Amino acid sequence: MKRNIKLTIKYEGTNYSGWQFQKNARTVQEVMEEALGLITGEKVSLIGSGRTDAGVHARHQVANFKTGSKLPLKNIWMALNSNLPRDIVVSSVEEVKAKFNAQHSARSKIYRYTIANTNFVDPFIRRYAAKCFYELDVNLMKRAAKHLVGRHDFKSFQAKDVIERDSVRRIKSISIKKDGELVYVDIEADGFLYNMVRNIAGTLIEVGRGKFTADRVKEILKKRDRRFCGPTAPAEGLCLMKVKY
């Protein structure tokens, strides 16, 4: 019987076209599967907790794969980090029950969107924060975000997807805080639609700069039409922070 191995992964997504395998682009999943193939001698199919878009980062992505390899977990962990590029690191390797599935077993995910609210972005964070030179009113952004908490149809915040998906999701919490020139938007939900967090972030930025009122967010939800929400915020500001099981 094959073992089911769970990986916790960190990656800096700048050089990748997202997590999910694509025919004509380099992705994190592809790089990971190549390394696992070298280590196990098998063709490995890696199941991720969810896709992240091109340029998006992860502090806590989770994936699992089945293998007939008898290699000790520590050997797999050490060999993976030796064979992966420096912008991908496996932080833990563990054997889990056969029924565990990184995608379907997930209860919720937490994403963070980071905004550099300044004219000139610190070069040490430029890959991890999106610039906004308009002065943002964080209190207005917090008022607007309250309309998004709970179970709603988020079709207005969904980018066009390859597959038609149910657009109802439950946002458990949204936290917005300012620390110096950085504004952090943390969102926990039972699931996310394509570009949902980036579209929410873009809309909240419009509120913070005074272009949208806080109550307009409630109206955007009711419209169920992507054309009414704010612009899609840049990918570099987004990071998958945690997957809960």
| Cα maximum dimension of the chain | 59
Sequence-distant (≥ 6) Cβ neighbours of residue 199 within 8 angstroms: 156, 157, 158, 159, 226, 229, 230, 232, 233
CA distances from 215 to 140, 147, 184, 218 (A): 10, 8, 21, 6
Q: Which of 53, 153, 179, 215 is catalytic?
A: 53
Element (H, E) at 8: strand 3-11
Which residue type occupies 96?
V
Which residue type occupies 37?
G
Active site residue 53: yes
Q: Which of 87, 77, 75, 94 is nearest to 28 (CA)?
A: 87
Q: Is residue 213 a contact partner of residue 102, using CB atoms and an 8 Å limit?
A: no
Residues annotated as catalytic (active site), given as ranges: 53
